[in-house]
Amino acid sequence: MFTHIKTSKENRDIVAQLTRKLNLGTENFIARIALTYSLTQGKKLNLSDIKNSSGKQYTKNVLFGDYADYYIGMVALHYDVHTSDKDISKYIKMHIDDGLELLNQEIEANPNMDGFDFLIEKVKTGLEELV
């Protein structure tokens, strides 16, 4: 099992910028949002496309808090692998990097959007998809 995750070098600055802009908590909260945001896109990322690991480092406990089993479980379900799969940390890392880039693009396209507006929009979209 893994003990830490490192984002790409490019995403080190992006997570800091998003943390300030969205004002939703610390960088690890933004990384959690990025992970789940990427997973909601439904795409399966290819391990051969993994980016460098020269960015922000999160320990498993800091990144996920008391909810590590849930986050790891979501990724395992998405890839149809066991939570102890040797590549689970790579999938998590890739989805955090992907999610940070997606969030950054969305915030750049909507510069007046704050974190609360972003979350409300995503919850509304999710609820509409259920109907």
Give residue 67's pLDDT. 96
Q: What is the value of pTM for the model shown?
A: 0.93
Question: Is the per-residue pLDDT at 130 higher than 90?
Answer: no
Question: Model confidence over 26-59: pLDDT tens digits?
Answer: 999 999 999 999 999 999 999 999 999 999 999 9
| CA distances in angstroms from 37 to 27, 32, 54, listed in the order given | 15, 8, 22
Give the model's pLDDT for residue 81: 97
What pLDDT digit, counting tens, does each position of 77-125 carry?
999 999 999 999 999 999 999 999 999 999 999 999 899 999 899 888 8
Backbone angles phi, psi at 114, to 5 degrees: -105, 180
User: What CA–CA distance (Å, rounded) separates 72 from 39?
Assistant: 12
Which residues neighbour 62 within 8 Å (Cβ) at sequence distance 6 or greater? 28
So what's the pLDDT on residue 78? 97
Is the predicted pLDDT of residue 62 greater than 80, yes or no? yes
Q: What is the CATH number of the domain that holds 56?
A: 1.10.1220.160
Number of domains in the chain: 1
pLDDT for residue 122: 87
pLDDT at 129: 82
d(CA 82, CA 102): 27
Q: Check residue 125 and give its pLDDT.
A: 86
**Domain that includes residue 106, residue range:** 4-130
pLDDT at residue 41, rounded to an integer: 93
Alpha helical stretches, state H, 1-131: 9-22, 27-40, 60-64, 68-79, 88-109, 115-130
- The band of 2, judged by pLDDT with boundaries at 50, 70 and 90, is confident
Q: Region of 57 please: left (phi>0), alpha (psi -120 to 50) or beta.
A: beta
